[in-house]
Amino acid sequence: MSEPLNLGDLIDHAADPGELALIELDEAGVPVHYTYGELGALAANVAAALAARYRRGERVAVLAANSAHYVATVLGIMRAGLVAVPVNFRFPRGLIADVIADSGARLVFCDAKRVADVPPGLEAIVFDARSTTPAASLPDNATLFSSFVASERPTRFDVFVPQADEAALILYTSGSTGRPKGVVLSHRSHLWVVRTRLQSQPLAGERVLIAAPLFHMNALALAFLALSARATTVMLPQFDAKHYIRAIAGWRCTWLTAVPPMIAMMLQERELLAQSDLSSVRYVRMGSAPVSAALQEQIRALLPNARVINAYGTTEGGPVVFGQHPQGLPPPPLSVGAAHPLVALRLIDETGAESDHGELLLRSPALMNGYHNRPELRASLTSDGYYRTGDVFQRDAQGFYTFMGRRDDMFVCGGENIYPGEVERVLERHPAVAQACVVPVPDEIKGEKPVAFIVLKAGAQADEETLKRHALEQAPAFQHPRRVWFVETVPVASTNKIDRAALKAEAARRLAAVAASHTEQ
């Protein structure tokens, strides 16, 4: 492969343009095929049209569900020397406007479903590969994508060479703990990510399934990786458990990447799973949230031919953090691996001292430039160039790291620090439990105390007292959940991670209802 000049230049111009790059599925599962030549030409057309109108370094937003046009547009923006800003379309309209305004985007690419969410005063370019929306029905600020790129059809667009840390992307965090932060990522950092990942895990010949949203690092980084490896990507517009299963079986996907709640929802579709042949799957890369032992066990039973990779990464620090043990030792079941040889790691305890249990700090070539327009957040980067992740890990004697929980999720119960992830792992060791989520609720004496929401395995039975007793037998008494509620599924946020804020609200509602019934009695 010829070396890409920038992050938008991942498609090898010297390779066979007829190779299949992407199979785009709509919500009904109807496919459209794109070769590498077609996808590359589309990206070049976008780049040429943008370069004719905007100056290098200006920002361009993308507000849409997953599609081939989305991928080509992000590549084209970066290839033209502009900065791509993928925006979470599940944000409320007001927050979408805030994010786009904060980024300084001059233009918004969107699909027909989101054109109304484009802030007034900004031009919208509406993807129309599958849309039947006539141009006459669009608002005055909107132009069809096909018309926008038709004016520029270069045989080959001259891609630019970025300077040292020139920005390629701004990815906004979900905003679950406050105002979304724009993470500025450079061409150099994520070209390094692509090269480094391909050295350890070549994807040539794989058929990769992407259903996580492209506005999130998990999916976007995999799309870049697959393009560079010239793998074939099967792409869903967004995650739906039934569509996900049908896509695996129907297109013989070999490589899956997902966050644990996506797989947990997939496992609920027992009737469809029983009818589906998923034997093609060889790799399942789990990331963006911790994987429980119970979920790992279920994945291995469902996909016996697959290797399950328990991965870790952050938007700010990239997906290359951990890897294989330098002596080839097998990792413990819930470990994310040993330190990657090209990444420097530290664990810092509550006193700021280095420890085998504490907050993870990392430094690597993938590190962000910083947060866009947020000078007050400079403390996230230490004076010697480490990023403070906010994630707490345990390192064992062999050098393997295991995720313990978010520092922000920690709460204090009667003077004792509780990380929800530790309690969840205890509960998930019970043979009846498929998934556990622990959140704090206020307590007049203890300050806060843990309660748990439980999803049981198919056909399994357990009651509240059984799981309380299990927790008391397996962990310190202060960690045991004071209430246990059984649910069919746990709610997920816009990035398909568990929505802990929603569960806290639900716990408060349930406790208030119990208190009200006692008052009435």
Residues 44 and 147 in one domain: yes
Could you give phi then psi for residue 463, rounded to 5 degrees?
A: -120, 175
What integer pLDDT is reported at residue 133 of this predicted model? Answer: 62
> What pLDDT, on a 0 to 100 scale, did the predictor assign at position 171?
96
Query: Are residues 59 and 118 part of one domain?
Result: yes
Q: What confidence score (pLDDT) does residue 352 get?
A: 87
Torsion (CA) 111, 116, 118, 119 in degrees, nearest 10: 180
Q: What is the pLDDT at residue 340? A: 96
Q: Which two tokens stand for residue 462?
A: 């357990």
Cβ atoms of 281 and 253 closer than 8 Å = yes
- 428 and 486 in a common domain: yes
407 versus 506: the higher-pLDDT residue is: 506
Tell me: pLDDT of 31 over 90.
yes
Question: By the 8 A CB rule, do 22 and 75 touch?
Answer: no
Which residue pairs from 345-352 have beta carbons closer than 8 angstroms and sit at least 24 positions apart in sequence? 345/321, 345/401, 346/386, 347/393, 347/395
The model's pLDDT over 300-337, given as tens digits with 9 standing for 90+, comes to: 888 889 988 888 989 999 999 999 999 999 988 888 99
Average pLDDT over residues 380-407: 90
Q: Which helix (H) or strand (E) holds 224?
A: helix 217-229
Portion of the chain with pLDDT greater than 90, in percent: 56
Residue 156 pLDDT > 70: no
**Is residue 107 domain-shared with residue 152, that is, in the same domain?**
yes
Find out whether 139 and 61 touch, Cβ atoms under 8 Å: no
Residues in the chain: 521
The yes-or-no verdict on residue 151 having pLDDT over 70 is no
Mean pLDDT of 21-37: 94
What pTM did the predictor assign?
0.85
Tokens for 67, please give them: 């599609």
pLDDT of residue 1: 56
**Rounded (10°) CA dihedral 251, 252, 255, 258:** 60
In a domain, 258, yes or no: no
pLDDT band at 174 (very low <50, low <70, confident <90, very high): low
The CATH number of the domain holding residue 500 is 3.30.300.30
Q: Backbone phi, then psi, for 208, in 5-degree steps?
A: -95, 135
Please identify, among 186, 212, 233, the residue that sits at the C-terminal boundary of a domain.
Answer: 186
Q: Who wins on pLDDT, 211 or 418?
A: 211
* Average pLDDT, rounded, for the chain: 89
* 342 and 463 housed in the same domain: no
Residue type at 520 in one-letter notation: E
pLDDT given for residue 371 in this prediction: 93
CA dihedral 170, 200, 10, 246 (to 10 degrees): -80
In this structure, the answer to whether residues 430 and 374 fall within a common structural domain is no
Q: How many folded domains does the chain comprise? A: 3
Asked whether residue 282 is domain-assigned, the answer is: no
Kindly state the tokens that stand for 227: 């393009």
* The pLDDT of residue 155: 46
Residue 20 has pLDDT above 50, yes or no: yes
Q: Identify the pLDDT of residue 150.
A: 84
CATH code of residue 401: 2.30.38.10
Query: Which CATH number covers residue 125?
Result: 3.40.50.980
498 and 401 inside one domain: no
In a domain, 264, yes or no: no
Residue 367 placed within a domain: yes
The answer on pLDDT for 452 being more than 50 is yes
Q: How confident is the model at residue 521 (pLDDT cuts 50, 70, 90)?
A: low
The answer to whether residue 5 sits within a structural domain is no
Q: Please indicate, yes or no, whether residues 386 and 416 belong to a single structural domain of this protein.
A: no
CA distance 120 to 117: 9
Q: Are 70 and 214 in contact (CB under 8 A)?
A: yes
Q: Which residue has the higher pLDDT, 196 or 157?
A: 196
Task: Look at residue 456 and give its three-state secondary structure.
Answer: strand
- What six digits make up the tokens of 510? 């349930």
Q: What is the pLDDT of residue 73?
A: 98
Do 425 and 514 belong together in one domain? yes
Tell me what pLDDT residue 176 has. 47
Whether 67 contacts 213, CB under 8 Å: no
Sign for the CA dihedral angle at 245, 246, 247, 250 comes to: positive
The confidence score (pLDDT) of residue 286 equals 82
Same domain, 436 and 492: yes
Instruction: State yes or no: pLDDT of 296 exceeds 90.
Output: no
Range of the domain at 487: 410-520
Q: What is the distance between the alpha carbons of residues 205 and 177, in angstroms, rounded to a whole number?
A: 40
pLDDT for 177 beyond 60? no
pLDDT band of residue 33 (cuts 50, 70, 90) is: very high
Quick one: 459 and 335 in the same domain? no
Alpha-carbon distance 168 to 474, whole Å?
Answer: 48
> Does residue 231 fall inside a structural domain?
no
**Angle of helix 260-267 versus helix 293-302 axis, rounded to 10:** 50
Alpha carbon distance 440, 410 (integer Å)? 9
Under 8 Å between Cβ of 399 and 338: yes
Residue 35's pLDDT is: 97
Q: Could you give the 3-state DSSP secondary structure of residue 405?
A: strand
Would you say residue 147 lies in a domain?
A: yes
Question: Quick check: 229 and 15 in contact, CB under 8 A?
Answer: no
- 84 vs 178, more confident: 84
pLDDT class for 376, splitting at 50, 70, 90?
confident
**Over 50: is that where the pLDDT of 433 sits?**
yes
* End position of a domain, from candidates 362, 387, 407: 407
Amino acid letter at 121?
G
What are 491-518's pLDDT values in tens digits? 877 666 788 888 989 988 998 888 777 6
Average pLDDT, stretch 197-216? 91
With pLDDT > 70 as the criterion, what percentage of the chain qualifies?
94
Q: Side chain identity at 454, as an amino acid letter?
A: I
- On whether the CB atoms of residues 144 and 115 are closer than 8 A, the answer is no
Are 84 and 124 in the same domain? yes
Q: Which two tokens stand for residue 268?
A: 């609920």
Count Cβ atoms within 10 A of the Cβ of residue 88 and give its class: 0-12 exposed, 13-18 middle, 19 or more buried: buried
Higher pLDDT, 406 or 82: 82
Mention every residue, 6+ apart, whose C-beta is less than 8 A from residue 459: none
Please enumerate in sequence order all residues whose Cβ is within 8 A of that of 26, keeping only pairs 6 or more positions apart, or say none. 32, 130, 237
Of the residues 407, 437, 470, which one is the last residue of a structural domain? Answer: 407
- CA nearest 170: which of 352, 309, 371? 371
| Residue 254, in any domain of the structure | no
Tell me 37's DSSP state. H
Structure tokens at 384: 């010697």
* pLDDT of res. 409: 80
